């Protein structure tokens, strides 16, 4: 399922660029303007539903925190389970975790050990708002695999193709970006 040029334009025009945030030289892609635009959000969610409805998924895993917004809505539309992949220390039950490098240090995400059910091989789609360097997404894909589930694909609303995150992640799983920024 491919976006029409009109659908792509609706989504792209709903995303606000904020220059020099969070620091000088960075152009931040602000999706809050997409979320409060009912037409753009509807076009996006319908596109994702159409793309994934025949993929035989069992779970959507959303990466903390913007991945929750898209992932939970898509899981409900597909009538499958939603699993949050959280920052360290936010989940109450037994977890597994994965560390990843940041520009200035290391961070860690985790998931409940039984998040994808008791049977091995559950088919999971990971979703987040944006992929840049890919550290968080790679850690999420590793966590899914460690639970015994299968990461079918990683989906991002925005893919920054001028960074190497997508290429790194493609070594683990398929990657789809709704909008690509070169």
Asked if 66 is an active-site residue, the reply is: yes
Asked if 13 is an active-site residue, the reply is: no
Question: Alpha helices, DSSP H only, in the chain?
Answer: 5-14, 32-35, 38-52, 66-78, 135-146, 165-169
Report the DSSP pairing between strands 27-30 and 81-87. unpaired
Four-residue CA torsion sign, 129, 137, 88, 114: positive
Q: Please state, in angstroms and as integers, the Cα–Cα distance from residue 167 to each residue in 11, 76, 101, 132, 150, following that order.
A: 24, 30, 16, 10, 19
C-alpha–C-alpha distance, residues 82 and 147, integer Å: 15
Phi, psi values for residue 159, rounded to 5°: -115, 120
Active-site choice (13, 55, 98, 103):
103
Active-site choice (7, 12, 66, 123):
66
Q: Which residues are the active-site residues?
A: 66, 103
């Amino acid at each position: 399922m491919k976006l029409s040029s009109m659908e792509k334009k609706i989504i792209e025009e709903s995303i606000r660029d904020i220059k020099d945030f969070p620091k000088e030289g960075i152009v931040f892609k602000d999706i809050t303007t997409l979320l409060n635009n009912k037409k753009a959000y509807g076009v996006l969610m319908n596109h994702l539903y159409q793309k994934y409805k025949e993929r035989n998924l069992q779970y959507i895993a959303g990466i903390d925190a913007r991945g929750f917004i898209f992932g939970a809505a898509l899981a409900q539309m597909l009538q499958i389970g939603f699993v949050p992949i959280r920052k360290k220390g936010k989940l109450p039950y037994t977890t597994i975790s994965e560390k990843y490098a940041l520009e200035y240090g290391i961070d860690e995400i985790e998931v409940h050990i039984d998040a994808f059910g008791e049977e091995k091989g559950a088919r999971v789609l990971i979703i987040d708002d944006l992929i840049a360097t890919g550290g968080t997404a790679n850690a999420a894909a590793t966590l899914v695999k460690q639970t015994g589930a299968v990461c079918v694909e990683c989906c991002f609303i925005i893919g920054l193709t001028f960074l190497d995150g997508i290429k790194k992640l493609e070594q683990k799983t398929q990657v789809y970006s709704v909008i690509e920024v070169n």
